Amino acid sequence: MELRNLITFIHVAELGSFTKAAEQLGYSQSTVSFQIKQLEDELNCLLFDRINHTITLTERGHKLISYAHQIRALIDDYKEGLGGEQDLKGHIHIVSPDSVCEEMINSNYIDFHQKYPYISIQFSTGDSTVMLDMLDHNEADVIITLDQHLYNKDYVIAKEELLPMHFVASADSRFAGKKNLSIEDIVNEPFVLTEYGQGYRRVFDKELAKKSLEIVPVLEIGRTDIITSMVAGSNMISYLPDFVTKPLIESGQLCYLDVKDLNIEIWKQLIYHKNKWISKSLKAFIDYVKEKEFSS
Amino acid sequence: MELRNLITFIHVAELGSFTKAAEQLGYSQSTVSFQIKQLEDELNCLLFDRINHTITLTERGHKLISYAHQIRALIDDYKEGLGGEQDLKGHIHIVSPDSVCEEMINSNYIDFHQKYPYISIQFSTGDSTVMLDMLDHNEADVIITLDQHLYNKDYVIAKEELLPMHFVASADSRFAGKKNLSIEDIVNEPFVLTEYGQGYRRVFDKELAKKSLEIVPVLEIGRTDIITSMVAGSNMISYLPDFVTKPLIESGQLCYLDVKDLNIEIWKQLIYHKNKWISKSLKAFIDYVKEKEFSS
DNA sequence: TCCTACCATCGAAAAATTCGATAGCAAACA
DNA sequence: TGTTTGCTATCGAATTTTTCGATGGTAGGA
């Protein structure tokens, strides 16, 4: 049974005429005859009595009408739903480094939820490798990386920005206020860094390696809030994105170290897979993140 | 949107694979690809994400699944309903002369209703001309005629029988018991007959005309129960089918007149239009009438 | 009686579906 | 590391289905 035939059937039944239905549908009359016959053959019963060139629904025809209407209604319903607001239901999985995740939840998520109450969001954290893998397996809808500048024809970069990075120490560190520090000056200090998997950590190590240097941190931990509070209360040094350290800088607990000779570019990138179907919900979310999470 | 594609879509979604769906449905894999693409093109959205040769339902795909299931369920439901008992719902319009109608209602209808409680029946009365016209306009499902033997390639005679006819008078009529009456003996007596439209009345008049005779009834009335009771209580004569007069003959209120020289054949025929779709209900009814209303 | 309106049917034309073959790609395997 | 396997996309050809126009028969109205 094909929908085309059911639609024709509805028209014929409503107009009580094959000919009129054909006109209305833009078919030839013989086509309508054929389509109805097709239905009748498949259902193995007559849908219309044809007596003296007048057609009347049979009992089964009558019953089919009601089913056909329901079917058509379902399809219309679905198609209408496609454009409508209720398309803003759904589930979105976003994966980002812990720091970004935390910031998002703290600053923006409530707003978003109020604006789109029917979109459910799953936040996960992961390092760049895992995140890209998740994109490849369609396990994440979008990811946010803090890493070197990524580019790959399989991915769409929805938005990106260069991320200021700083060495930070507690405000009363012996390096506080010193100008023109070199990386060599601090390379043997106790460091607390994010785990190696984290994008910017890897870039950091690699850049040091270029200078034949290596930093072995005394502590590695993903949670940047813990790192900053540790740095603030000890003589340890860390290397972190500005948005992480800013609050404690402003409150005077941390200070930047003026190290100029390490040239690292860390990008914050909002990425999804090029083959990903962007639902309305997802689009809303991406737009939201683009606007709120990225400064530019 | 065609149903074929929706069905394929359901299979693909359930199996999570174009290839497996193709096997299950007996299509080639390319056909399945094509069908899904067709759906997607029509709906102007992706139903599946295809990332690294693995497919996952998109949000819209997910929603479509639920609609598709509903649609399939409706169709299955209709098709199942076709064979089942619930097909024994319906409405039947039977038209017959008043006498037959009355007999049916009195003797058989209750039985039928108990056997098929969901079939609603409309009894109408009409004379032969009207009844045949109703068949031609699909206004009656079946008719029962009391008339000369009817035959026409457009009609199906479901059953027929020759109907004994008698002249009747009250038991104390001066003709009672007389043997070998001639039609001429009674032609000028007061007659009460059914209306002219009634089949056997017309046959009767025509047969008389062949003998250059005419009977002008003092009363014409369709209701045969009234005719018989009038005849029983007066000196009037009538000409009626045996099944109408039998009860009063048996109770001794009426008697047959022994008129032999009027050769009339009246048939009781159960007729429907050859193009009429015979629903299960209608078949049940026809079978019932064949068995109960016809002696043979 | 002619004319119009209606549906069924037929063969031809057009459109669609389907298939098989092929390619590209990733994952599993050796 | 290279090979095999399993998956989907795509292409052109073959096939099937759909559609059309023409024709025929019939009923009803003018």
- Give A147-179 pLDDT, tens digit per residue: 999 988 889 999 999 999 999 999 999 999 899
Look-up: residue for tokens 């350290």?
Answer: A245
Structure confidence by residue, pLDDT tens digits, B98-154:
889 888 888 878 889 999 988 889 998 888 888 998 998 898 999 999 999 998 888
pTM of model > 0.95: no
- Chain B, nearest residue to A4 by Cα: B2
pLDDT at A159: 94
Structure confidence by residue, pLDDT tens digits, A116-158:
988 889 998 888 888 999 999 999 999 999 999 998 888 999 9
Query: Quick one: what percent of chain B has pLDDT higher than 90?
Result: 64
**Are B273 and B138 contacting, i.e. CB atoms less than 8 angstroms apart?**
yes
Distance CA A173, CA A13 (A): 88
Residues B129, B135, B138: CA angle, nearest 5 degrees: 140
**Are A275 and A197 contacting, i.e. CB atoms less than 8 angstroms apart?**
no
Both tokens of B192, joined, read 């009460």
Higher pLDDT, B264 or B81: B264
Both tokens of B201, joined, read 């009345």
Mean pLDDT across chain B: 91
Look-up: residue for tokens 């939840």?
Answer: A105
Beta-carbon contacts of B250 under 8 Å, excluding residues fewer than 6 positions away, are none
**Are A129 and A137 contacting, i.e. CB atoms less than 8 angstroms apart?**
no
Averaged pLDDT, A22-49: 94
Q: Nearest nucleotide to B15 by CA–C1' distance?
A: D7
**Are A262 and A182 contacting, i.e. CB atoms less than 8 angstroms apart?**
no
Single-letter amino acid code for the residue at B178: K
Q: How far apart are the first and last CA of chain A?
A: 55
Distance CA B170, CA A69 (A): 62
Averaged pLDDT, A252-261: 93
Q: How many helices (H) and strands (E) does chain A have?
A: 12, 12
Residue B246's SS3 state is helix
Percentage helix, strand, coil for chain A under 3-state DSSP, each rounded to 5: 45, 25, 30
Q: Nearest nucleotide to B55 by CA–C1' distance?
A: D8
Residues B79, B83, B87: CA angle, nearest 5 degrees: 100
**Are B135 and B143 contacting, i.e. CB atoms less than 8 angstroms apart?**
yes
Which domains are delineated in chain B? 3-83 (1.10.10.10), 85-296 (3.40.190.290)
The answer to whether residue B50 neighbours chain A at the CB level (below 8 Å) is yes
DSSP string, B75-107: HHHHHHHHHSGGGG-EEEEEEE-HHHHHHHHHH
**Are A209 and A183 contacting, i.e. CB atoms less than 8 angstroms apart?**
no
Give the number of other Cβ atoms within 10 Å of residue A16's Cβ: 13
Measure the CA dihedral B214/B219/B223/B228, to 10°.
Answer: -90
Distance from CA of B81 to the nearest CA of A (A): 9
pLDDT at A222: 86
Higher pLDDT, A55 or B87: A55
Beta-carbon contacts of B117 under 8 Å, excluding residues fewer than 6 positions away, are none
Distance from CA of A91 to the nearest CA of B (A): 8
Q: How confident is the model at residue B174 (pLDDT cuts 50, 70, 90)?
A: very high
pLDDT at B33: 95
**Are A207 and A263 contacting, i.e. CB atoms less than 8 angstroms apart?**
yes
Structure confidence by residue, pLDDT tens digits, A57-113:
998 999 999 999 999 999 999 998 877 666 667 889 999 998 898 888 888 788 899
The answer to whether residue A283 neighbours chain B at the CB level (below 8 Å) is no
The answer to whether residue A122 neighbours chain B at the CB level (below 8 Å) is no
pLDDT at A292: 85
